[in-house]
Chain A
Amino acid sequence: MVAFRNTEASGRTTGLLLRCVLYSLLALGLIIFDKRYDHVGQIRRFLSVVAYPVQVAVASPFEGWDWFRESVSSRETLRADKAKLEAELRLANFRLQRYEALEAESQRLRALRDNTADVANRFVVGDIMDLDIDAFRERVLVDKGARDGVFVGQAVLDAGGVFGQVARVEELTSEVILVSDAAHAIPVQVNRNGLRTIAVGTGDMSRLKLPYLSTSADVIAGDLLVTSGLGGGFPAGYPVGTVAEVKRDPAQSLAEVEVRPAAALDRSREVMFVWLKPDAAPAPAPPAAAAPPPPHQGAPKK
Chain B
Amino acid sequence: MMRDNRVRRLPMALSALVALALAVIPLPAAVDALRPDFLVLVVFYWSIESPRAGGLALAFIAGLALDVIRGVVLGQHALALTLMAAWATHLRLRLRVFSVLSQSLTIFALLTGYQFVLFWVDGATGSPVTTFSRWLAPVIGALIWPLLAGVLSRLHDH
Contacts and interface: CB of A to CB of B under 8 A. Distances in A.
B79 A31 contact: yes
Nearest to B137: A135
Contacts of A7: 50
A27 B56 contact: no
A51 B68 contact: yes
A221 interface: no
A132 B33 CA distance: 11
A16 B86 contact: yes
A6 B59 CA distance: 22
Interface residue tally of chain B, by bracket?
A: 35 or more
A80 B32 CA distance: 33
Nearest to A136: B129
A134 B63 CA distance: 14
Given A13-B89, A40-B74, A20 B82 contact: yes
Interface in B44-72: 48-52, 55-57, 59-60, 63-65, 68-72
A6 B20 CA distance: 28
A130 B51 CA distance: 35
A130 B20 CA distance: 15
A47 interface: yes
Interface string B120-155: 010001010101011000000000001001100100
Nearest to B83: A24
Interface residues of A, number: 54
Nearest to B150: A2
A58 B90 contact: no
A54 interface: yes
B113 to A, nearest CB: 13
A8 to B, nearest CB: 7
Contact of B69 (A29, A40, A55): A55
A281 to B, nearest CB: 26
Interface of B: 17, 20-21, 24-27, 29, 32-33, 35, 48-52, 55-57, 59-60, 63-65, 68-76, 78-79, 82-83, 86, 89-90, 92-93, 95-96, 100, 103, 121, 125, 127, 129, 131, 133-134, 146, 149-150, 153
Given A2-B153, A34-B74, A133-B70, 4 more contacts: A4-B49, A55-B69, A134-B70, A135-B32
23 contacts: A2-B153, A3-B153, A20-B83, A20-B86, A23-B60, A29-B75, A30-B75, A30-B78, A31-B79, A34-B73, A34-B74, A54-B21, A54-B69, A58-B21, A130-B26, A132-B26, A135-B133, A136-B33, A136-B129, A136-B131, A168-B71, A175-B71, A183-B127
